[in-house]
Amino acid sequence: MAESTLVLVTRAPYGLEDAFAGLRMALAMSVNGMTTSVVLIEDGVYNGLGSQKPEAVRMPSNAEATKELYDFDVPVYVVKEDLASRGIEESRLFEGLKVIPASEVKKLVSEHELVTTF
């Protein structure tokens, strides 16, 4: 009987619904009291940019969907190497995200009973 879920967000925002779907799933688990964590990894790190303007493509904001998780104490991690390889400075991320080295993702996987990828 699972008590914890890790959501890996691997896709960039707005071209596909996947990243948003992953964030909403994390919200649904956390509001019910399940221990939930999110990792923005690979192209998923693009969801962390503070300067997103989703209204330009009439989409819901992945940044806001991420920040809603903070109300339920869901940690949202961003992989440092994936930011660097895409040339994104950490200063461009919105507040509350936790930048971690890729080596820590393995530990997060082991700390959660269920893992899903979006």
Stretch that binds another protein, among 50-58, 61-69, 86-94, 105-113 (CB under 8 A): 105-113
Residue 5 within binding range of another protein, rule CB under 8 A: yes
**Coil, strand, or helix at residue 12?**
coil
Please identify which residue in the block is written with the tokens 């919105």. 94
* Among residues 1, 56, 57, 89, the one that binds another protein under rule CB under 8 A: 1
Which residues, including other chains, have CB under 8 Å from residue 45's CB and lie 6 or more apart?
78, 79, 82, 83, 86, 88
Which residues between 11 and 70 bind another protein (CB under 8 A)?
17-18, 21, 24-25, 28-29, 31-32, 34, 41-42
Task: Kindly state the smallest distance separating residue 97's Cβ from another protein, in Å.
Answer: 18
CA distances from 46 to 17, 82, 84 (A): 14, 9, 11
Q: What is the DSSP string of 43-75?
A: GGGGGGBTT--GGGGT---HHHHHHHHHTTT--
Residue 9 within binding range of another protein, rule CB under 8 A: no
Q: Under the rule (CB under 8 A), what is the footprint of another protein?
A: 1-3, 5, 8, 10, 17-18, 21, 24-25, 28-29, 31-32, 34, 41-42, 102, 105-106, 109-110, 112-118
